[in-house]
């Protein structure tokens, strides 16, 4: 991902009072505390200090004059996404790509995202692992109203803490994340202990996820049909309010919900309303939205280190295994590990990120894949799924002569 051009409109500017005014106009109750770092925390004797997750800057601030703000435009629309040749699904795409564009910013600068929803559904962006002010957390009907059709919401927060993070929609996540609403968010530290320990030039970001194409297609189809009603709602605020309450199942509090059920309200999960339901039956497993053999290879040369950022963006755990090498697990959920761990298979659980360093020590063409074997199939057919290759650019010069072959059937 990082080697590619970023399909995201991006501007950087130094903050003026205008941005503070913007924060106020968003209804963000940002306190005007000073920009100095939070109190320094002393080291305990065993190296663990319960205070050391204190953010460098109090989250509830707004940009001050002279602080850098990176502005991004993200539009959400419906696109057709091809997982592998012959398999296309309707997807919710941030700026037209599945997953959304990688956002990369320096630590402690500000991020301003203009999120425009061009679909007829409600969506948000949740900034996973970021110490945002509460109002910027992107939880619909939790920290904000869902962003409705043709509405724009401005997310503003300081980029902290550094490391590999990601973003995703927090509305109907079971469907929306499968349909493509996630992307990597990389916050680059001023000084990177990982780069110091393992100098590297190239790096890759791998968002791991899975999809039940039958479920996504049928639900997206249903949603496309409902668009007419949603469009009408959008044109009539009164109708929108009425329909939202009924369709979305929104209540003032738990008691109101319990009372409504007593009064005959049928919740959406009741069999009489939902019919026969079943959990997703995942049939395609993806790296950056593509299944093998369409996944991008990891390129390396002998003697080179590469950094690979693994993002557990979906809802299944994955166990990424590299052939012919050990690698170093150097960072977890964005935080550098005090003691990197040497391994050849790393679990990547939903919602977590793990960074590894691969050292170019064994020229050749090596498989790198989820070792949970279901995930190396495409709709049950091996090989496929969550698999790519570590490819040495200098393999042939080093005497490796293996046939280059693309296999889609065993
Ligand atoms: Cu969404």
pLDDT score at 45 = 56
How remote is the CA of residue 181 from the centroid of ligand 1, in Å?
A: 6
Q: Is the pLDDT of residue 6 over 60?
A: no
Reply yes or no on whether the pLDDT at 355 is more than 70.
yes
What residue spans of 191-253 are helical by DSSP H? 193-197, 213-235, 237-248
Q: Give the three-state DSSP class for 116.
A: strand
Q: How far is the CA of 36 from the centre of ligand 1 (A)?
A: 36
pLDDT-based confidence at 241, cuts 50/70/90? low
Q: Output the furthest CA–CA distance in the chain (Å, rounded).
A: 76
Cα 19 to ligand 1 centroid, rounded to whole Å: 27
Q: How far does the centroid of ligand 1 lie from the alpha carbon of residue 246, in Å?
A: 19
Q: Indicate if 72 and 178 belong to the same structural domain.
A: yes
* Residue of 131, 130, 135, 204 whose CA lies nearest to 168: 130
Task: For residue 89, tell me if it sits in a domain.
Answer: yes
Per-residue model confidence (pLDDT) at position 227: 67
pLDDT cut 70: percent of the chain above it: 84
Q: How far is the CA of 173 from the centre of ligand 1 (A)?
A: 7
Tell the burial category of 307 from Cβ atoms under 10 Å away from its Cβ (0-12, 13-18, 19+): buried
Q: Average pLDDT of 265-272?
A: 82
pLDDT of residue 25: 40
Residues 143 and 107 both lie in one domain: yes
45 in a structural domain = no
- Rounded to the nearest angstrom, the distance between the alpha carbon of 308 and the centre of ligand 1 is 27
3-class secondary structure, 401: coil
pLDDT at 201 over 90: yes
Q: How far is the CA of 286 from the centre of ligand 1 (A)?
A: 19
116 located within any domain: yes
- Tell me, yes or no, whether 67 and 171 share the same domain: yes
Mark whether 75 and 180 lie in a shared domain: yes
- The alpha carbon of 178 and the centre of ligand 1 are apart by a number of angstroms equal to 10
Boundary-marking domain end, from 258, 274, 290 = 274
Distance 325 CA to ligand 1 centre (A): 39
Same domain flag for 99 and 166: yes
Question: 123 and 69, same structural domain?
Answer: yes
User: Nearest Cα to 184, choosing from 113, 112, 129, 102?
Assistant: 102
Per the CB < 8 A criterion, the answer to whether 358 and 302 are in contact is: no
Q: Residue 125 Cα, ligand 1 centroid: separation in angstroms?
A: 8
Instruction: From residue 142, give the alpha-carbon distance in Å to each of 122, 134, 171, 252.
Output: 13, 10, 10, 12
- Give per-residue pLDDT as tens, 18-57: 554 444 444 443 333 333 444 454 555 555 666 688 899 9
The Å distance, Cα 194 to ligand 1 centre, comes to 34
Q: How far is the CA of 169 from the centre of ligand 1 (A)?
A: 5
pLDDT at 38: 42
Same domain, yes or no: 60 and 173: yes
The pLDDT of residue 21: 43
Residue 257 has pLDDT above 70, yes or no: yes
Q: Is the pLDDT of residue 254 over 80?
A: yes
From ligand 1's centre to the CA of 361, what distance in Å? Answer: 43
Q: Point out which residues pair with 112 in neighbouring strands.
A: 71, 156
Number of domains in the chain: 3
360 CA → ligand 1 middle, Å: 40
Ligand 1 mean position, distance from CA 332 (Å): 26
Ligand 1 centroid vs 113 CA: distance in angstroms? Answer: 16
Q: Is the same domain home to 343 and 222?
A: no
The pLDDT value recorded for residue 326 is 98
Q: Domain with 64 in it: what CATH number?
A: 2.60.40.420
pLDDT on residue 136: 97
Average pLDDT for the chain: 87
Beta bridge partners of residue 97, listed in sequence order: 94
| Segments of 62-218 assigned E as strands | 68-84, 87-94, 103-106, 110-117, 126-128, 152-158, 163-168, 182-188, 202-211
- Name the band, by pLDDT with cuts 50, 70 and 90, for residue 302: very high
Of 146-155, 163-172, 235-244, 366-375, give the lowest mean pLDDT range: 235-244
* 42 domain-assigned: no
Residue 381 pLDDT level (bands cut at 50, 70, 90): very high
Name the residue range of residue 86's domain.
Answer: 9-32+56-190
Q: 214: CA distance to ligand 1 center in Å?
A: 18
- Among residues of the chain, what percentage have pLDDT more than 90? 66
Rounded distance from Cα 395 to ligand 1 centre (Å): 44
Q: How remote is the CA of residue 376 from the centroid of ligand 1, in Å?
A: 27
Tell me the per-residue pLDDT of 269-278, one tens digit each, with 9 for 90 and over.
887 777 777 7
The arithmetic mean of pLDDT across residues 375-380, rounded, is: 96
Do 268 and 176 reside in the same domain of the chain?
Answer: no
403 falls within a domain: no
Q: Give me ligand 1 centre to Cα 171, in Å.
A: 5
Whether residue 15 is found in the same domain as residue 140: yes
Q: Are residues 336 and 295 in the same domain?
A: yes
Note whether 208 and 222 are same-domain residues.
no
Tokens 């039958």 appear where?
A: 214
CA 115 to ligand 1 centroid distance, Å: 12
């Amino acid at each position: 991902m990082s080697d590619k051009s970023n399909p995201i409109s991006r501007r950087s500017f130094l903050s003026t009072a205008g941005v503070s005014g913007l924060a106020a106009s968003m209804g963000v109750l940002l306190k005007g505390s000073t920009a100095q770092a939070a109190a320094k925390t002393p080291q305990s004797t065993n190296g663990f200090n319960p205070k050391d997750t204190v953010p460098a800057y109090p989250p509830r601030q707004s940009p001050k004059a002279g602080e850098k703000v990176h502005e991004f435009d993200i539009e959400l629309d419906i696109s057709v996404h091809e997982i592998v040749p012959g398999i296309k699904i309707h997807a919710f795409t941030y700026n037209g790509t599945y997953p959304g564009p990688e956002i990369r910013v320096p630590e402690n600068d500000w991020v301003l995202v203009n999120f425009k929803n061009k679909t007829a559904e409600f969506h948000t962006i949740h900034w996973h692992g970021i110490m945002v002010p509460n109002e910027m957390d992107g939880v619909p009907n939790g920290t904000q109203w869902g962003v409705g059709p043709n509405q724009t919401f401005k997310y503003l927060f300081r980029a902290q803490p550094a490391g590999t993070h990601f973003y995703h929609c927090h509305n109907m996540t079971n469907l929306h994340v499968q349909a493509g609403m996630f992307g990597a968010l990389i916050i680059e530290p001023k000084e990177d202990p990982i780069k110091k320990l393992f100098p590297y030039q190239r790096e890759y970001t791998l968002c791991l996820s899975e999809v039940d194409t039958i479920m996504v297609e049928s639900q997206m189809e249903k949603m496309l049909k409902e668009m007419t009603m949603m469009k009408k709602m959008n044109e009539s605020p009164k109708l929108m309010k009425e329909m939202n309450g009924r369709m979305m199942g929104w209540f003032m509090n738990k008691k109101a919900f319990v009372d409504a059920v007593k009064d005959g309200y049928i919740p959406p999960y009741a069999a009489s309303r939902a019919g026969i339901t079943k959990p997703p039956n995942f049939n395609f497993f993806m790296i950056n939205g593509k299944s093998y053999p369409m996944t991008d290879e990891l390129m390396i040369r002998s003697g080179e280190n590469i950094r690979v950022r693994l993002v557990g963006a979906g809802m299944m755990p994955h166990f990424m295994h590299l052939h012919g090498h050990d690698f170093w697990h150097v960072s977890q959920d964005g935080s550098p590990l005090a003691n990197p761990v040497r391994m050849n298979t790393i679990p990547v659980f939903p919602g977590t990120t793990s960074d590894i360093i691969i050292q170019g020590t064994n020229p050749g063409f090596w498989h790198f894949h989820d070792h949970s074997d279901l995930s190396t199939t495409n709709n049950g057919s091996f090989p496929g799924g969550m698999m790519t290759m570590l490819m040495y650019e200098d393999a042939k010069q080093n005497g490796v002569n293996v046939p280059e072959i693309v296999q889609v059937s065993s």
